[in-house]
Chains A and B, each alone.
Chain A
Amino acid sequence: MKKSVLLSLFILMSFYAPAQNAEQIIDTLKAQLRKKPDAKKTAAIYSDLTWYYANVSIDSALHYGLKAAAESKRLGDSVLLAQVYSDVGAVYFRKGDFQNARTNYLTAYKIRKIKKDFNGANKANANLANVYMNTNDYNAAMKSFFESLRYFEQTNDAANVSVTKSNIGQLFRKMKNYPKAIQYLKEAVAYAEQNKQNDRLCEYFLNLGNVYKDTNDSINAIKYYNKSLRNCGLSANKKAESIVYQNIGLLKAKAGNDKASIALYDKSKTIKEQVNSDLDKANLNLSIARSHIKAGEYAKAKKLLVDAQSFFESRDSKDDLLITYQLLVPVYAHLNIPDSVDYYSEKYTSLNEALTQAAINRQTADLEARYQTAKKGKLLVEKEAEAQQKNYLLLAISALAFFIALIGFLIYRQQRFKNIQQEQEFQLKTAIAHIETQNQLQDQRLSISRDLHDNIGAQLTFIISAVDNIRHAFDIGNDKLGNKLQNISNFTKNTIIELRDTIWAMNNDEITFEDLRARILNFIEKAKDARDEIDFRFTIDESLDGTKLTSIVGMNIYRSVQEAVNNAMKYAEASEITVEVKKIEGKIAIYISDNGIGFNPATVEKGNGLLNIEKRIEDIGGILKLTSEDKKGTRISLLLN
């Protein structure tokens, strides 16, 4: 009883009207058509009629399908055209023409994919899965069903999830995985009951009844068939109704109730005539023939089987043909036609072998495909690993190149720094050498000067000695001559003092304030000797004792003090001359003051002595300040940093 139940697969719908049955909807649509709507509306009505006629009359459905396709093409409405192809595919599917069903579904799928109508494309994919299932390509069917289910679940399309689950349940039934089949079908039933979808419930209960029938649970099978009949009646699904009657008939026949079984077959046949589903009719003939064989009516059975044989041969429906041949063998045996028995036995054997071989080939191909897939997978993994290895290598080489470049840069930087160092060092050393050379030259010059000054000193001393000898050795009665000799002696002595002072300064790299004090003191003592009527006072701040001065600074201070005191002695007519050296806020302040006649600095022109002092103080970076007033004396202030 391999092929006792007809196919009852249910296509996804684009629209649904649960409150009305198919015949009522068809009447409504035809009434709309009579009102002559515009071209677009007409095309849509043709498409709807195609769909609703699919369960009432296949010929009418195909008639309206062709009209809908022609109208859609004329309008250039690809969306509607895809829907029409899908509906026509559903009609062919119900008719049992899977080749045409597949062609129409594929066209609808392609159009929807181009239009990026993913929802429609997934519905077409699910419909194609139904075709794969009925052509025994279970792997492709399962793959397509689950792809669609995943999409509908992601988009929360509960209605299509329910339909797809029903189809998956049907596929599990075909694969004889009955628990899974019941699970998926019951999930679909729950949704349809909740939403009162009579049309869907008609099909789902039929499929559930089929599962229970396959598991020999006749009670549950009859229970769900009856539920299916009630819902098929409400939704006017004649095709499903005829299948339900046929299947109940089969159960009755199995139970030995042949009369009831024949009556149910007749009912089914009457409805099938209306629906005009050739495949269903041929399958029904097989069931009736089976009953005739059981009743010993072999001639009637032979007639039905021969009709079914020619139909199955025209459709190349091998599974159905195998059952037909199997049934024809006992029929011809009982009719006592041995040649035909041999002929159909041979046909049965060869077809059975061919089907077995095809199944083996399919399995082998499947295995090979799996092997090839695994091999490709392995190759892919190897290639990926190789690519990753190459990436790592590339990365490492890049890093290497970067580090080498960095090292190159560091070495270059180091070398450049070395060159700059050498250049700077060379410049500094050159400067040092240059200054040292100049110093040596100056040293030599100073040495020559010292020798020269020593000679001059000796010569001056000789002149003084000679002049003094003449003065003391001879009695020079001539006053004029005596004065001349005295002048020469005094001038030479002054020159030699100046020479000694300069030599003193030149022979010392540094002059301390103690040295300077001693010199100034010595000079003041001599001044006292020369002008004893003048009271000389000299004070120096002791905190300046440690202060060191360069020879030029020391000498200029000394000469300035000397010049200022000499000026006071010569012109001030002073009775008191004071020299004070102090330290004020880190600076050296020297005051030379007298209580003489004074002068008005604004009117009196500065003499050489004062100008010399000014120049000397400016040379050593000091400031000179002169304050004087008639009859109130003069004060010279020297301020040094």
Chain B
Amino acid sequence: MVFILMSIIVFLLCVIVYLNVVFYQQKEIFRMRLQALRKIIAEIDKKHTDQQGQIRLSDELQQTLKESRAVLSNDIFDLNYELFDLLSKNNLLKK
């Protein structure tokens, strides 16, 4: 009986050692996977930041273009006004 129990204890000891080894292997694998994932996150985060910068530039341009459009519209309106004024003065407008 004692012999059987001792055999079981030895077996259980082996199981304990095995479980510990597996546990530390899993821990190492997980650490490496996390490292890889963090690297990916860092990369895509950088890309994200770059894209945000580009979008900001685009937005700024959009604003500039908006202002330019207003200026240009005024200029074209003034040009047309002058043109029509000139045509009117010379009676060149179609009736």
Contact = CB atoms under 8 A, between A and B. Distances in A.
Contacts of B55: 442, 445-446, 449
Contacts of A404: 12
Contact of B34 (A392, A400, A424): A424
A406 B53 CA distance: 56
From B54, B65, B78, name the one whose CB has the most chain A CB atoms within 10 angstroms. B54
B82 A481 contact: yes
Contacts of B49: 550
B86 to A, nearest CB: 6
Contacts of B6: 396
Q: Which of B12, B34, B38 has the most CB of A within 10 A?
A: B12
Interface string B17-33: 00110110011001001
Contacts of A431: 41
B37 A480 contact: no
A227 B13 CA distance: 82
A400 B41 contact: no
A421 B34 CA distance: 9
A560 interface: no
A413 B16 CA distance: 12
A410 B37 contact: no
Nearest to A440: B51
A316 B16 CA distance: 81
Interface of A: 389, 392-393, 396-397, 399-400, 403-404, 406-407, 410-411, 413-414, 417-418, 421, 424-425, 428-429, 431-432, 435-436, 438-439, 442-443, 445-446, 449, 453, 456, 463, 478, 480-481, 484-485, 487-488, 491-492, 495, 498-499, 502, 505-506, 509-510, 550-553, 555
Nearest to B23: A414
Nearest to B31: A421
B54 A425 contact: no
A413 B9 CA distance: 21
A428 B34 contact: yes
Contacts of B19: 407, 410-411, 414
The 3 closest A-B pairs by CB, nearest first: A552-B53, A396-B5, A442-B51
A413 B60 contact: no
**From B45, B62, B75, residue with most partner A Cβ within 10 Å:** B75
A499 B48 contact: no
B9 A449 contact: no
A417 B23 CA distance: 9
Contacts of A449: 55, 58, 61-62
Contacts of A551: 50, 53-54, 57
Give the contact-size bracket for chain B.
35 or more
26 contacts: A393-B5, A407-B15, A410-B16, A410-B23, A418-B26, A431-B41, A435-B45, A439-B44, A442-B48, A442-B54, A449-B61, A478-B82, A485-B79, A488-B72, A491-B71, A491-B72, A492-B72, A495-B65, A498-B64, A502-B57, A506-B54, A509-B47, A509-B50, A510-B50, A552-B53, A552-B54
A607 to B, nearest CB: 17
A632 B12 CA distance: 89
B50 A488 contact: no
B37 A425 contact: yes
Contacts of B22: 414
B82 A484 contact: yes
Contacts of A438: 48
Contacts of A406: 12, 16
Given A410-B23, A491-B68, A393 B41 contact: no
Contact of A425 (B34, B45, B52, B60): B34
B83 A552 contact: no
Contact of A429 (B1, B37, B48, B79): B37
A321 to B, nearest CB: 64
Contact of B9 (A392, A399, A495): A399
Given A393-B5, A396-B2, A432 B51 contact: no
A443 B56 CA distance: 13
Contact of B65 (A429, A480, A499): A499
A555 to B, nearest CB: 5
Contacts of A399: 5, 9
A462 to B, nearest CB: 12
Nearest to B59: A449
Given A400-B12, A446-B55, A487 B75 contact: yes
B23 A443 contact: no
Nearest to A470: B79
Contact of B2 (A393, A488, A491): A393
A352 B78 CA distance: 169
B2 A389 contact: yes
Contacts of B38: 428
Nearest to B47: A439
A407 B17 CA distance: 10
A194 to B, nearest CB: 61
A580 B38 CA distance: 39
Given A400-B9, A410-B16, A432 B79 contact: no
